[in-house]
Amino acid sequence: MSQLDQVLSKIDSDLDASLERLFQWLKVPSISTDPAYKDHCRIAGQWLVDELKTIGIEASLRETGGHPAVVAHAKGHAKGAAKPHVLFYGHYDVQPVDPLELWDEPPFEPRIITLPDGRKAISARGSSDDKGQVMTFVEACRAWKAVTGSLPINITFLVEGAEEDGSKFLPEFIEANKDELKTDVALVCDTGMWDRDTPAITSSLRGMVYEEVIVRCADRDLHSGTFGGAARNPIHVLSKIIAAIHDENGRITIPGFYDGVPETPTQVLEQWKGLNLTEEEFLGQIGLKHSAGEKGRMLIEQIQSRPTCDVNGIIGGYTGEGTKTVIAAEARAKISFRLVGDQDPATISENFQAFVRERIPADCSVEFIRHKGSPALALPHDFPALTVAKAALHDEWSREPIVIGMGGSIPVGGDFKRILGLDTLFVGFGLDDDRIHSPNEKYDLQSFHKGTRSWARILAALAG
């Protein structure tokens, strides 16, 4: 047997023990957004430090402005040419569990369940997002160490404890430790597969701009019987502005919005066409039938490679039970933009604010609250790590992996590029039905097992 075959065999024989280790970690309620769980977050970070040390990897818990981060280093066996050095990123914190009454079982009592279609899955908060995904990589490293006494490449680990709370202090931490964290390429395991049998590599991520808009008119709420028809209504003003953002074809009307938006290469579009993603399949699962995106674009383009604008919340006037006939003094909206290509977050924000100001009546005012923005990310199609990872995943899954964009944003990829100059390879094994951020989160047993085998193959492929 080759070394890789021995490593894969070790992963297979050690599956039950791997699950037991994961279950120990899943029992820790490391909810980063709730101060009541601050100590649990530290416990979860220390658990990983201790676990990495058991396989001979130098690890420590490092302080940040928030929950601590796990940093670890492992040297590969240096034979012949210099081995690549990768930075592996994940997070040990989890989402809150509310509403608790919707969980079938307690969220921090992990167990194996059988789904209605017969699949086996790990059920617990954090099983998919992101402890289970992190452990696929850790268990792959464990198997390499057990079989060969070393790793095939040099690895630095960065596993944070506040991803679900916005990673507020992570950029500062990376900046302060950039010499230690600088490697050849970053690996991130916080993504998913195309379907349960088809692996995927995320080659691009949309960026983000998030704005809050506050429109104010009168100096207090008004009686609509007395002032209705004469006084400006800020809800009307804000609603008209929001309605003006999109035209009848679904395009965004903010001047300069599409500057820097690339067209997807023809060969990529052809691959996407072959996936046959339909409105019925994608929207049907959420009770919808018809796409509301840009006309003339495939559904898969609308959700992955085109920029968007969505109103995430709108507040104004009386919203309690019963009636109260008032004209509100102010109205608020929370609005997000997903960016692609070379769209600049700062420029998008400035143009949006100008767009709004032009539509504010003379006797009204507007205030903006600008949140952190992030640019889009994209790997070159000939990126060497992408090429070898595709081959490794094909060997494990016996299917050509899908190389695809992701509609969401993972800001750490932008931090790695901006601060460390690193391109990031996003490989994960989550599924759309994993119910992350929701009650009854799960992670398919196949995703965990074959995800571990996949990482073992990718490490071997990166070593050449």
Lowest mean pLDDT among 169-183, 380-394, 432-446: 380-394
Topology (CATH) of 3-205+376-463: Aminopeptidase (3.40.630)
- Tokens in use for 386? 């992408």
* Residues 165-205: tens digit of each pLDDT: 989 999 999 999 999 999 999 999 999 999 999 999 998 88
pLDDT above 80 for 280:
yes
Same fold for the pair 3-205+376-463 and 207-261+307-370: no
Could you tell me what percent of the chain has a pLDDT over 70? 99
- Taking the CA of residue 108 as centre, how many other CA atoms within 13 Å lie in the half-sphere pointing to its CB? 15
Q: Where are the alpha helices (DSSP H) in 149-278?
A: 170-176, 178-181, 224-227, 234-244, 266-274
Give the pLDDT confidence score for residue 375 in this predicted structure.
86
**Residue 316 burial class via C-beta count within 10 angstroms: exposed 0-12, middle 13-18, buried 19 and up:** buried
Of 426, 412, 429, 329, the C-alpha closest to 372 is 412
When pLDDT is averaged across residues 420-428 and rounded to a whole number, the result is 95
Q: Which amino acid is at 403?
A: V
DSSP, collapsed to helix, strand or coil, labels residue 210 as strand
Range scoring the smallest mean pLDDT among 48-52, 74-78, 229-233? 74-78
Tell me the three state secondary structure of residue 412: helix
Q: What percent of the chain has pLDDT over 90?
A: 86
pLDDT greater than 80 at residue 381? no
Amino acid at residue number 143: A
Mean of per-residue pLDDT scores for the chain: 95
* In the predicted structure, residue 424 carries a pLDDT above the cut 60: yes
pLDDT band, very low/low/confident/very high, at 373 (cuts 50, 70, 90)? confident
Beta bridge partners of residue 183, listed in sequence order: none
Residue 321, pLDDT > 80, answer: yes
The pLDDT, as a whole number, for residue 79 is 57
The per-residue pLDDT for 267 is: 83
Segments making up each domain of the chain, as ranges: 3-205+376-463, 207-261+307-370
1-36 tens-digit pLDDT? 899 999 999 999 999 999 999 999 999 999 999 999
Out of 3.30.70.360, 3.30.429.10, 3.40.50.720, 1.10.287.3510, the CATH code matching 207-261+307-370 is: 3.30.70.360
Q: What is the pTM of this model?
A: 0.82
Q: What is the pLDDT of residue 78?
A: 54
Dist. CA 177–CA 172, nearest whole Å: 9
